[in-house]
Structure 1
Amino acid sequence: MSWPAVILWVLLIYFCASRGPGLLYLMLISGTFGSLQMLPFSGGVNLLPQSACAAAFVMKALVQRGNISRAIDSAIDLQRMALFTVFVIYGVFSAFVFPRAFLGLFEVVPISITLSGADILHPSSGNFTQSCYFILSYATSLIFSVIGLSSATRLHYRRALIWSAYALVVSGIIDLVAFTLGISTVLEPFRTASYAFLTDVEAEGVKRVVGLMPEASTYGTACVGMMGTLLFLRPLYEEVSERRSCRIAIVLLGIMTVLSTSSTGFIGLAMLGAVYACDLLYRMLNKDSFRRGNIPGELMVVSLSALSVVFMFLLNPALFDPLLAMLNTMVFQKTTSASYVERSMWTRFGWNAFLETGGMGAGLGSIRVSNWTVSILGSTGSFGAALMFGFIVQCLLMGARNASGEMRAFVAALKLSLLPILGMYSLVATVPDIGIPLAVSLGLISSGHTRISRSSFRAGYS
């Protein structure tokens, strides 16, 4: 166990024993350490800091009076978490039954990093570990569907996002500086998970910034996801200092996404821009929108930014040559790269698993792909996909009930931020697990679908 893991364990124990929202902040900030092993041994099982914090957070929240009964109510409520609940039960069932039912009938690309190619389908440790990861993500989502009813939870969540954003930015700067000075070895204590690392890679002569993640794609995706969440939640920050910090964080995350040179990050930025433009147009046309905000100010910033880019291009077109060359290599010529060929092979085998099982799937944790949709289909089949995608569509389309203006604006902002995240997931996600950040967002959105009166809600997590 490396020294950063020891420090995080000490902080985790301290915040578990103390009152207040410290554990929530630690859970979100710890997402920065995406390649740090928290266990004192290595055997292919990885416990990342955010997963450890999420498990502690769930347990701490559940012991609060009334939260267990509220969690059960949410888990079986068809308009909240019921679809997700059934999916998790079915997914765990598939993990232990389907690999044995279809044993040896076809080939898959297993999750294990020790194998680079396909292997005959058989039960593996991945079925157990992926089930545990998904149960943790579900439990996190479930508990946030309960405590999300509290305005204090939503307030601290927004503040913790800003801290997390700056942690991501700082980790990227440290990675870039360490590489430039030739001292990347100082970051080895933060890269102890049993992953395949791609940390010192260049593209078009430029260092691909990875922060403390395993690769640039993971870092770029995290930056875009955080950037989108802050962008849409921005109007809800009431204090001037928080709004200023939020705006600066958004700009810095955009810069770090570009420096990651991640093709998924570039596509994510494009999707985020499209969603923001559509939302801005909607708010301009809908005068009754509770999220109108400062539309003239937003239009001025967008217009000035666009005009600045055009002016710079007219003044000196050569300034954009490195960026255009990067986009050409990382996006438009991506299909010629070895990485694309390999990941396409994973997805092809995953889709074949769906077909070979007659639409039932090979079981949770049996396959590795590079497309979240195919991962769900290839792992849990048509039934599992209907449950998972049905839950997400429900979260996106269903409106908040008995909600204040702040709650409605909060839920609407999270829904908008999900769109580019889900789009990026469909390009690079290798396993069905949605991860802790997305689980938190889905849980908070589901909290807006409750039937109980918010005025009578007093649950906390202190």
Structure 2
Amino acid sequence: MSWPAAVLWAMIIAAAFSRGPWLIYIMFASGAFGMLQMAPGDGGGLNVLPQAACAAVFVLKVLSQPGNIPRAVDAALDPYRIGLLTAFTLYGVIGSYCLPRLFAELAYVVPVSSDVVGGTEVLRPSKGNITQSCYLLLSYGTTLAFCIIGATKEFRRHYALANLYAGMTIIITGMMDAVLYSVGLSDLLTPFRTATYVLISEAEIEGVKRVIGLMSEASAYGGLCIGTGGALIFLLPFFHKGRESLVAAATAMLLLVMGVLSTSSGAYVGFAILCGIYGVHMLVRLASRDDREARRSRIELGLLSAAGLIVLGAFIVQPSLFDFAFDMVDKLVFQKSVTASYIERTSWTRAGWEAFLDSGTMGVGIGSIRVSNWSVSILGSTGLFGALLMFGFLVQQLVFKPRKASPEVQRYNTAVQLSLLPLLAIAQLSATMPDLGVSVAAALGVLAAPRRAREHPQQVVSDAQSERDRQVVPSQLSDRSTAFG
């Protein structure tokens, strides 16, 4: 175990025994350390990353609080909260044991194992079924924990601040990677890169170093930047006005810049989608009856228009300034289909789709296949039935609003919903497993938190939650800290 892992373990344990929100902050910020092995030695072939370790401690802490086990059961079985996700997780975990044995040697797959390079292998049960099921259970536990305690105003503030601290950490690690590489001191980052994933840290495009931070490759870092930056952009109205709001806005902009510097095609596509979603959302708010929303939209539109005019003026005066940017976009997006990486990843996805068909649309089990498309990963792993459960849950959380929620809760949920869309789009291009990670799981838990079963229509979700719901938070997440005064 390297010294950064030991330091993080000390921070996680200290936060677990504190009464403040630090465990949530550490969990989000530790997502930037995607190559740090937290298990002793080599982990027995299993990579235990900081965010996963922190999430496990967080889930245990939440469930250990008095009264939270009954609340967890209620949320897990409630079809209007995470009932569909519960069904998907149970089906996926059971299927990860049964399906690879049922269809053994009847399908060909690209296995999860990182030591396989190219080609396919006959389907057999493997340790990947166990490890990926554990990751899926951890993400489910994270969603459940956030669903239990995420319905109060205090918690919504902690969630926004957690994304802010995560963004700062991502920027710092990206700058460390870029600066130390430029001065020939990349070896200083070796203690942070102890996981057994394949590390692509010195790749260049058009003579430019691909920034990967402390992740395994540019696509992972770029997606992290766009996802966290998008979350901060949509959550800006929920930061305190003044210095805190300005710091959040600056962090969001820097994250988008770092996402561009990652030179990841997935990050570029996610950035374009984020811009489109933000533009539509701004126009909707511009026509809102809420004077505050309309005023803020007019200010944003004015600033963006001014920035656009400056860029247009620069292009008219000196078009050659943009040649490099155009070449990068052309190579990374429009010529992506001719690259070896694209061809290899497409072959993974094709093999996963064929495994789905060969299994009679039942799937071959979580952890049996590696693809490069999240939808195909769900279909190939859990079959048509699992896909209906998962996509049904996503539609429920991303489309429908919580019934009888206060306007502030509805605006907050809309912000979280919009922040997830670029991440899901990037996942369609590069996600290799059904599990999308702790951060996405946490956001889905935040969305599910204010929902209530239909048999309790008298419950109104607002900042004035019932004492039963509100008493969960002070014992775990006291609001004793504020950011930047």
Q: Does TM-score exceed 0.5, indicating one fold? A: yes
Q: Is the 8 A contact 2:286 2:298 kept in 1?
A: no
Q: 2: distance between equivalents of 1:18 and 1:279?
A: 39
- 2:81 is the counterpart of 1:100: no
Q: 2: distance between equivalents of 1:144 and 1:186?
A: 36
Q: 1: distance between equivalents of 2:449 and 2:18?
A: 25
1:377-392 maps to which residues of 2 (within 5 A)? 377-392=379-394
- 2:37 is the counterpart of 1:37: yes
Q: Is the 8 A contact 1:84 1:387 kept in 2?
A: yes
Structure 1 counterpart of 2:472, one-letter code: A
The offset of 1:434, in angstroms, is 1.7
1:217-256 maps to which residues of 2 (within 5 A)? 217-256=219-258
Q: Is the 8 A contact 2:287 2:294 kept in 1?
A: no
Q: 2: distance between equivalents of 1:186 and 1:312?
A: 39
SS of structure 1 residue aligned to 2:472: coil
Deviations 1:364-422 (A, max 9, x none): 11000000000000000000000000000000122123433322211110011111111
Structure 2 counterpart of 1:62, one-letter code: L
Q: 2: distance between equivalents of 1:356 and 1:387?
A: 21
Q: 2: distance between equivalents of 1:271 and 1:98?
A: 36
Residue from 318, 321, 328 that aligns with 1:319: 321
Call closer, same or farther: CA 1:75–1:289 in 2, change over 3 Å: farther
Q: 1: distance between equivalents of 2:159 and 2:331?
A: 37
Which structure 1 residue ranges, 4+ long, deviate > 3 Å from structure 2? 288-293
In the alignment, which residue of structure 2 is the partner of 1:180? Answer: 182
Q: Is the 8 A contact 1:351 1:377 kept in 2?
A: yes
Residue from 429, 437, 455 that aligns with 2:466: 455
1:66-77 maps to which residues of 2 (within 5 A)? 66-77=67-78
Q: 1: distance between equivalents of 2:11 and 2:435?
A: 26
Residue from 414, 421, 424 that aligns with 1:422: 424
Which range moved further: 452-461 or 269-278?
Answer: 452-461
In the alignment, which residue of structure 2 is the partner of 1:214? Answer: 216
1:70-219 maps to which residues of 2 (within 5 A)? 70-117=71-118, 118-219=120-221
Q: Is the 8 A contact 2:286 2:295 kept in 1?
A: no
Structure 2 counterpart of 1:154, one-letter code: R
1:344-363 maps to which residues of 2 (within 5 A)? 344-363=346-365
Q: 1: distance between equivalents of 2:52 and 2:395?
A: 25
Q: 2: distance between equivalents of 1:202 and 1:48?
A: 26
In the alignment, which residue of structure 2 is the partner of 1:328? Answer: 330
**May I ask how many residue pairs the two structures share in their alignment?**
462
Q: 2: distance between equivalents of 1:249 and 1:147?
A: 27
Q: 2: distance between equivalents of 1:239 and 1:16?
A: 30
The offset of 1:106, in angstroms, is 1.8
Q: 1: distance between equivalents of 2:130 and 2:108?
A: 19
Deviations 1:217-260 (A, max 9, x none): 00000000001111111111123111001110111011101110
Q: 2: distance between equivalents of 1:396 and 1:49?
A: 28
Q: Is the 8 A contact 1:235 1:293 kept in 2?
A: no
Q: 2: distance between equivalents of 1:120 and 1:429?
A: 22
SS of structure 2 residue aligned to 1:11: helix
SS of structure 2 residue aligned to 1:362: coil
Structure 2 counterpart of 1:14, one-letter code: A
Which range moved further: 210-219 or 407-416?
Answer: 407-416
Q: 2: distance between equivalents of 1:311 and 1:277?
A: 21
The offset of 1:174, in angstroms, is 0.5
The offset of 1:284, in angstroms, is 1.9
Q: 1: distance between equivalents of 2:13 and 2:401?
A: 38
Q: 1: distance between equivalents of 2:395 and 2:277?
A: 17
Q: Is the 8 A contact 1:236 1:406 kept in 2?
A: no
Identity %: 47
Call closer, same or farther: CA 1:303–1:286 in 2, change over 3 Å: same
The offset of 1:288, in angstroms, is 4.9
In the alignment, which residue of structure 2 is the partner of 1:397? Answer: 399
TM-score, normalised to structure 1's length?
A: 0.98
Structure 2 counterpart of 1:163, one-letter code: Y
The offset of 1:292, in angstroms, is 4.3
Q: Is the 8 A contact 1:290 1:405 kept in 2?
A: no
How much is the aligned-residue C-alpha RMSD, in angstroms?
1.3
SS of structure 1 residue aligned to 2:466: helix
Q: 2: distance between equivalents of 1:50 and 1:289?
A: 40
Q: 2: distance between equivalents of 1:35 and 1:46?
A: 9
In the alignment, which residue of structure 2 is the partner of 1:275? Answer: 277
SS of structure 2 residue aligned to 1:104: coil
Q: 2: distance between equivalents of 1:348 and 1:445?
A: 33
Call closer, same or farther: CA 1:292–1:68 in 2, change over 3 Å: farther
Deviations 1:186-231 (A, max 9, x none): 1111111110111111001000000000000000000000011111
In the alignment, which residue of structure 2 is the partner of 1:376? Answer: 378
